[in-house]
Each structure stands twice: as structure tokens, then as C-alpha cells.
Structure 1
Amino acid sequence: MGYGNKLKIHIDGHSSTKVYTSSSRVAGNVTVCTSKDVTYNHFQIDLFGTTETRVDGSVSVMTTTHVFLELEMPIPEPWHPNPRVLKANRSYNIPFEFVIPSHLTLDTCNHDADYRAVQEHHLRLPPSMGHWQMDDLSPDMARVEYRVQARVFGIRDVDGTLPTIMEASQRILVLPSFPEQPPLDLLEHDNLYSLFKSKVTRKIPFSPKTGQLTATAAQPGAILLAADGRTASTIQVRVDIRFDPASSQSPTPRILHVLSKVVAVTFFSAAGINHLPNQGQWSKMEGLNGRGVYRKTIALPDFTVKDDVGWQRNTHAQARRASQHAHAEREGSTLGSELLTAPCYFTKSLNVPIELPVAKKAFLPTFHSCITSRVYVLSLGIVESSGVTTTTIWLDVPLQVAVESLPSAIPESELPTFEAAVEDRLQSPHH
């Protein structure tokens, strides 16, 4: 931009903390003022959405930029002065209006995908990442940005190119609506998660076994963020615990409390990701094929188990009868034969409350885009005491974070066309 030339973007009702969501309007005007007469070709006002990743390889650094959203505001011909000359010291106001879409166009994701669900995820708008006022748990190697950009193009050069003579941009924060997805269908090689684990119990270290403790977690429903991300729902995670005593004299252990922490996992790649990176063995390929992963852990409050949550006694005969219908003995298949000498086993269930500290951290929704993804793992540590020693069983549970849809959001079928938006805002041309 030349000296004395000014190009400013004003967004109605905007502030650095304002959050836009699906179907939100982004409207305002661009002001142009020059210190001398300037001949130009045309103006262009766009709403861009871009993802940038950086993968540090052993030989080189791979940087990728993916423009997943590009909306252009058409400016009617009658608005422009004739001839196209911006007069010195005169202000020109160009109105604009965009609507944050709910989905991207099909050509946004044009790389190979292992199955259709991958592309369906990639055609959802990702949230802004790396630009929130609070820590959003993302690395410098993965960024998602939305911005309104205004440009003034000059007269074509001899080689046919249009030089940019003035340019300005304004970043906005976007948190699209994300509906709750079905629970993950986990397989053995999905090493990010562990819903089932067993440990041998002892009164003191190296003493004879008193039994085996098994914990199993159910995938919880999604935590629902408000449309501005500032509040979130509280969920409960069900944990079923089973104790198989080594003998009829073995005492039941005492479940003291449950430790909780949430791990934000950000995957990023230099090329299109053809599968869901949280399922499979992404970590084994880290650094290869331009891939990376970043983890950040946030501790959550401990959950104290009340003494009145007692053990329920069950007989193996009851379990065998139940297994004919519901395979209730499936977890017992890993038990050693020495633990089956007792005539019974014991069970209890816990409902562990989980609340994200949204006042301290900016939690993004669970999402998968072409070159970056964000998922969460809820690590639960079940602490038990069988005597003077304590042991902890750690489970890693998929934790989904969704974003509510605003009741006032405009249905896609009713969104105004760009032409209608122009007519609404351009009541009188400035020329």
C-alpha cells in the first residue's frame, strides 16, 4: 500500500473476542481513501478459511497451506466510478456480507480417502485453531485461520498480471456447530484408546496374589460446548469394576478414588489424510510421509469413591447362565486358572463426572479436516488398596467434544444469495 493510501475493514459488532458459528453473518464495509488519484481495475472482498501445517522432517521442513473456504463478495458494476479512478482524499465505502456456511463444497477435499466417512468429516468447517485468547492446546505446527480480506487491483501489467496496489485483512474466530457423532467402533490396533484393563492385587509387594481387578469403561456421550465455546455440559463416564478373588478368604479391595486427565491430541500432515488418524497406528508413522502429532494434557479434579458404593457378590454359575445371552464372561477369559478357585466374584459400578475447565482453556470440538485433526482422550486412573499398597488401573477413553447449534441459526435453504445481500446493503452507490 502506498504512502497515504488507506484500506480499512470494519465488521459490524466485531471484537477480538467475538465468536462466529455456522450461519453467522459477517457483515460490514471496506473504506478506501487515497492521497492522490489512483486508477484501478477492480476491488475484491473475500472470506477465506485456511489451514497451515508444518512438519519438521529429518532432512527438510514441509509446510502446507490448504485454502478450504473462499467466498467472494460480488460488487455490482454500477457501484464503480466511471472511469475507474479513486479520487484523492475521498473516502469510498464498499459494503460486504458473508454467511458462515455449515459445509464445504465437494471440491474442497480432492485427495484420496480410504472410506466415505473420511471425506464427510473433511467437508465440515474446522474451528479456528491457534488464534484464541486462551490456550487452545494446539501446536505451532497446525493453524486454522478465518479472515476477511480486501484488495484493490491496479491496471494490468504488460505480461497480463493484475498488481495488488492496496490490501487489508481482518481475522475472525469461527467455532462451527458440530453435532454429536456415534461412539467409535474400536479395533485391536486402535492403540490410542484402552477401555479394558486388568491388574493383579496383593496386600504387600511380592506377597501372594489376593485376586485380579478388572476395570471397563463405556464410551460416554459428547461434551457439548456452547456456540461461543465459553460454557460446556458436564457428562458422566460409567466404569464397571470386577474383582476375582484368588480364594474364598481373599478380601475385596477398597476403591479409593478415580484420577482424571484429558489429553488433547492434534494430528497434522503435509498431505491429505486418507483415514481417521485417531484410529490405527498413526504414532508408528510419525515423522514419516510428512506426519506429526502433538499431545497436551490437562489434569481434572479427582473423583472420591464413597464408601456406600459397595461390592455386589456374584457366582460363576450366574455369570455362565448370563453369558449365554450377553457374553457376560468375556472379560473373565483373561483370568488365570488359579483365580477361578473362588466360588464367586464381585462387581461395582461408578459414574465419574467430567467437566472441562473452559474458563481456563479454549477447548475445540473433535474434528477431522484434510491436513489436521483434533481428538481427546480421557485418561481415568482407578486407584485401589488391597492392604498397605495401592495400585492404579489406567483406562484411555474416547472423549468427544461437540458444539451446539444456535436456535436462531438460519437454515441453509433460507440463506440469502450474495446478490440479495448486495442489494440489501448497497442502497446507494458511492461514486
Structure 2
Amino acid sequence: MRTTTLVILATAAVTVGLAVPALATSGGAASTTVAGAPGSGQSVVDWNRELISILGTPNAQPATVHPTRGFAMLQAAEYDAVVSITKAAPPYGSAVPAPDGARPDAAADQAAHDVLVALYPGMRAGLDARLNGQLAGIPDGKPEQDGVAVGAAAARQIVALRASDGAAATAAPFTPGTAPGDYRPTPPKFAAPMYTGWGSVTPFLLTSPQQFQPAAPPPVSSREYATALAEVRDLGRDTSMSRTPDQTVAGKFWSASPIWNTWNQITQQLVTDRHADLAQATAVFSALDLSLADTTIGLYDAKYTDHVWRPVTAVQQGATAGNPGITGDPTWNPLTPTATDPSYPGAHSALSEAAATVLTAFYGPRQAVTVTSAADPGVRRRFANLADAAQEAGLSRIWSGQHTRIDHEAGQQLGHQVAEVALSALQVHLVDAG
């Protein structure tokens, strides 16, 4: 089912400067470029939305390839196409030759189109139509043609760079453990685990998938684990009387759409609300999606290193844990269906912390947001800042019975560390916190 998340920015948000020094406007003020005008970042938003639409199409995305890879490739290609022409910032990969006067907007559009065609060849007709529509707004002539050539070269470079990254490798069959604490498929479907080999994919920016591997979690026999499990047992049960009504709403809300889609849609609205120009839009999206992609690789490396069982297994089989602090309950079920991968670290916590760290660097610590989702109509989640949104996204997985606080905190640490690498690599820093 296709889902759409809309983020409405609070009008009282503090204005901050763009977080890329070479691209920041004078005085640290946010860009006021009119969306749709030459040099507008709206086309970047449109291509990002196009990818989300593709991902919502049944069977369009290979089941073994994580969607964050496609986002990162799309945004890196657009970014490299633009900075190859403007020379305003270092590229992600390497600059491609760009004649003087080449149109960066034509380059960004062509780069986006070519990466998505390479990833989703069955979607070519729709992608061709979108490209033709974007280029129709650019005057014909040599500047447009040169921009198109730059964009095509940038896309080829990114596609070639990722051609042997291990994403297409067949993962070894996963054998569930039988010892207390070992992950095994979860009820009610007991489906095979997902992305078992994703921790072996070459990162986009990290030196290795293990660069920020979390420390091993406390054993299930420990008091710390028993305490963490007791929290999710009480708050995350489908019939919990301890969870507040608002926690119930949040637990369902953040489970409704893929978390990487949600944070891309938050970014879409931030870019649109600020009338960001092309350089600014490509910078923020590339920092966001490179962070999300590498966080995903890192968290799957950790998940299948420690292969910790999910709370539903831990509670239902608590009598086997060898921990006097854990009371088993075979009738226990979580508020929302359990994801098909090991528990530690938490993906929502890791990806949300990475996204919020990046976006706060661009928009400051007082950027208020209201998040809604078509997958959970009628619900509006309001936050004073991006960090609060990320914190609730992570905690919601305790309230929905998916993760322990141990998973949550390890995920937050991983996501923050990866985001800092991305911000440093792209030379991003906060210009003005208001």
C-alpha cells in the first residue's frame, strides 16, 4: 500500500542559515528563492517524491535491497552534478568536467532521472515524462545541453561506484539460534528475517560497516536486561493498561510508514517551506540520505552480529531466559506486528537520530514540525524541534512492543555518530542557531 507522510512546519520556527558555508546566503539568512523558479530546489523535492512513489509500487523495489541505498544514490548524483558546475562545495564522489555556463538545474534533473532509470528500469516511461517536464522549463540551448551532459556523467559515476558494493550479493541462509536471547522469527507469521547480509554492503561514507558498531548488549541473564524488558512488557503489550492513550497513538503512528520515507518527507517540507535554492536542496538531501544509508548498513551489521531476540520472544519465552527477574507470559503480544529482524540496535531510533542530527545542523535546534501520515489519517504529531521528533520515533518502538530501551539507546548513538561523519565529509556546520 502506498503511504504518504506530510510534514507541516510551524510558522513560529526560528530562521537559521543554511548549514553549508560555501552555499550559505549572506548574513546567514535562509534562501528565499521562489519554488519553481530557475535555480529552485523544488525539482530536488519532486525527484525525491518520485522515488517514494516508486517504492510504494508493488515489486518495484528488490526485496533484498534496502531502499535507503536508492535514496543515497539519487541524492549523491544530484549533488555531484550541481557542485561539478558551481564548484561551491566538494563533491561526494568526484567532480565531472563541466563547461562554463552549464545549467546546474538541467544537470540535477538528468542525474536524478538516470540514477532512477538505472535502479528501476521498469519505471522508465514515467521517469522520462518527469524529466521532459522538468527540462521544458529550462531554455533550450548550449547551457541546457551542457548541463544535461554533466548530469548524465554524474549519474554514471555514482552507478558505477555502487555497482560492486555488495547490494546484489546473495546472503547466506540465516539459521535461528536456540539459546536464551538468540533471535528467531516472530509470531504471528514467523517470517524469515530481512536484510541478513546488508551489514556487508560497502558504506557510502563510513570506513567500514563496523566503524561505529555498538558495544555488545547486556546478556539476557542480567538485571539491566530484565529491567529493560519489564518496561516494554508493561508499555508495549497490545492490551497494556500502563501505556497512556497518547503513547498508544504514537506507537501506531510511527509504525505506519517506513521511517526513511518519513524523514525524507520531513525534509521535503523543510526545503519547500524555506524556498531553498538548488544548491541548498541538493546539500541537505545528500547529507540526509547518505547518513540514512550508512546508518542502515551499520545497524544491520550490528543486528546480525549480536542477533538479539525480539521482546515478543523474550516475554513469551521468559521462563527459558535463566533470569529470575523475567517472568514469562506465553499470551503476551505487542501493540504492532514485530519487524522481521533482530532487536539490537533499534532501527527507528538509529535512523531518526541520524536524520534529526543532519536536519538540525541545517535548520537549527528550534525548528518546530507537525507530522501527519496518510497511513494513519487524522493523527498529527507536533514537536518543538527535530530532536523531539526523533526521540518520540525511537521511544514509540517501546510503546509498540518492538524494542527495549537498550535497543533504543544503542540506535541513537549509532545514528548520531554516522550523521556527524556525513556532516563532516560534506563540510556542513551550523551557520546560525538563532
Same fold (TM over 0.5): no
**Normalised by the size of structure 1, how large is the TM-score?**
0.23
**Normalised by the size of structure 2, how large is the TM-score?**
0.23
Structure number with greater Rg is: 1
Looking at both structures, which has the greater relative contact order when contacts are Cα pairs under 8 Å and sequence separation is at least 6? 2
Higher strand fraction: Structure 1 or Structure 2? 1
Higher helix fraction: Structure 1 or Structure 2? 2
